[in-house]
Structure 1
Amino acid sequence: MPISETQISRSYNQEDIQQILHLAIARQVHEAEFTHEQLVEIATELDISPESLQLAEQEWQSKQGELRHRQDFNTYRRHKLKQHLGKYAIANTFLIVLNFLSAGTLSWSLYILLLWGLGLGLKTWNTYQFQGEEYEKAFQQWHRQKKFKQSVSTLFNRLLSA
């Protein structure tokens, strides 16, 4: 006698429930966005306390802010790399032309081209590494500098407006 699927009790752990609900919400094409009231209603139906929901929302906002800062940092690093690439191209073009015009052949300029290119290659490698201790150190330093500049700018603006 076969047992029907409805007779088998199903149980899910918390991670399974999160994944199932995530997939179900993602399939809701007709409503691409949810209002805060809908979020509260969903939390209520899931028996999540308003305090837990508020803490989770604050944590999510904090993580989103951190993500935006990291995206800004990555954009900054790519911009700096492009500046270095431009300097490399201009300076080495000049040196190669100078070497060719003065000696009639390429000699010493190739050493500069290769050594500088090696350094630029390492810088490129580091620019596109988004994990690790070096990345975190660079991000923290950039973040501190950005905060310091904002503080000085705010202080200066207050002094000017007073």
Structure 2
Amino acid sequence: MTAFESNSLRSYSQEEVQQILQRAIARQTDDGAHEFSYQQIIEIAAELQISSEAVKQAECDWILQKSDVHQRKAFNLYRQRKFKKRLGNYGIINGFLILINLLGGTGLTWSLYILLFSGLAIVLDIWNTFQSKGEEYEHAFQKWNRKHQVKQTINTVLNQWFKAFQTY
């Protein structure tokens, strides 16, 4: 496209429009502190001939996606903390076994085999902990998420019960 083509000859796909508008909004808010009200979003959408229902549905989808991303971050942090604990346990146990082997006076013999096999277990644990894609990850996340939601529900019910009990 040359610089001399008229504005009326230009046409863009929906994806290109989204990218252009996203960049324009980002440039307009240099400090990053500018926020848009819901009413402003509705007005912008109306100018683009987007219905308010479509905006409401898009907002709901965005909130769900944001919640899912937040949950996945929490899950990944949980997995990393759990891994650090297991790594510490591996280190303590293997250090103790090496010390026993050295105190036996025969040097490092049998403890090296244990160290080798536990090292393999650590490598597999690293792979499983930091692998954030695939069916196994998704299954583990779903299991953790259900467990997490049950805990939240129980805490909410207990808190409401305790508040009701305190009022009597």
Give the CA RMSD over aligned residues: 1.9
Q: Which residue of 1 aligns with 2:126?
A: 124
TM-score for the superposition, normalised by structure 2: 0.87
Match for 1:30: what amino acid? D
Superposed CA offset, 1:25-67 (max 9, x none)? 1222336232323222211211111111011001100100011
Q: Which residue of 2 aligns with 1:21?
A: 21
Which of 112, 117, 121 is the matching residue for 2:114?
A: 112
1:89-108 to 2 correspondence within 5 Å? 89-108=91-110
Matched positions, count: 160
Q: Which residue of 2 aligns with 1:67?
A: 69
Which of 51, 54, 75 is the matching residue for 2:53?
A: 51
Which of 85, 88, 106 is the matching residue for 1:86?
A: 88
Distance 1:7 1:61 in 2: 36
Secondary structure in structure 1 of the residue aligned to 2:28: coil
Distance 2:139 2:71 in 1: 14
Unaligned 5+ residue runs, structure 1? none
Distance 1:7 1:151, change over 3 A: closer
Distance 2:148 2:138 in 1: 15
Distance 1:151 1:38 in 2: 36
Distance 1:69 1:93 in 2: 36
Unaligned 5+ residue runs, structure 2? none
Structure 1, 151-160 or 112-121: larger mean CA deviation: 151-160
Which of 129, 133, 136 is the matching residue for 1:134?
A: 136
Moved over 4 A (4+): none
Once the 2 structures are TM-superposed, how far is the Cα of residue 159 of structure 1 from its aligned partner? 4.0
Distance 1:131 1:49 in 2: 36
Q: Which residue of 1 aligns with 2:150?
A: 148
1:31-42 to 2 correspondence within 5 Å? 32=32, 33-42=35-44
Distance 1:30 1:37 in 2: 22
TM-score for the superposition, normalised by structure 1: 0.90
Paired-residue identity, %: 47
